[in-house]
Amino acid sequence: MCSSDADPVPPTGPGPARRGVDWLFVDRQRGGYTVAQWPNIVLWLFLASTLGLRFAGTNGAVATSLRVAADVSLLTWALDEVLRGVNPFRRLLGLAVLSLTVTGLVRGGW
């Protein structure tokens, strides 16, 4: 019996770790890995509202309006990622942000 007959056939293709990384991070629309993306308009609104809160203080109608705009825009962004994220990582990121934001709102009140 030849030793080559007893040797196992080497696996072809990527291993399970590589397949897992590909499944999690590969963009389903364009291919390639996607972890972060340029912010869309809703996320820009969140960033601008949050920055505005730094200057507006914590009390008053302006601060309340900015806080509501920040919360609503972040919730909208997170829900959009859950529903339309380009890969499972982005969907899980949206779910995490959505969960943390809702939890913060419930604990802190609107």
46-81 residues labelled b (16+ CB within 10 A) or e (exposed): beebeebbeebeeeeeeeeebbebbbebbbbbbbbb
Q: Is residue 19 part of a domain?
A: no
Q: Is residue 15 part of a domain?
A: no
**pLDDT at position 108, please?**
86
Segment 55-78, tens digit of pLDDT: 888 789 999 999 999 999 999 999
Q: Is residue 6 part of a domain?
A: no
User: Which domain, by its residues, includes 62?
Assistant: 36-110
pTM here is 0.81
**pLDDT at position 28, please?**
87
**pLDDT at position 76, please?**
98
For the cut 80, the answer to whether the pLDDT of residue 6 exceeds it is: no
How many domains in the chain? 1
Which pLDDT band, with edges at 50, 70 and 90, does 109 fall under? low
Q: Is residue 91 part of a domain?
A: yes
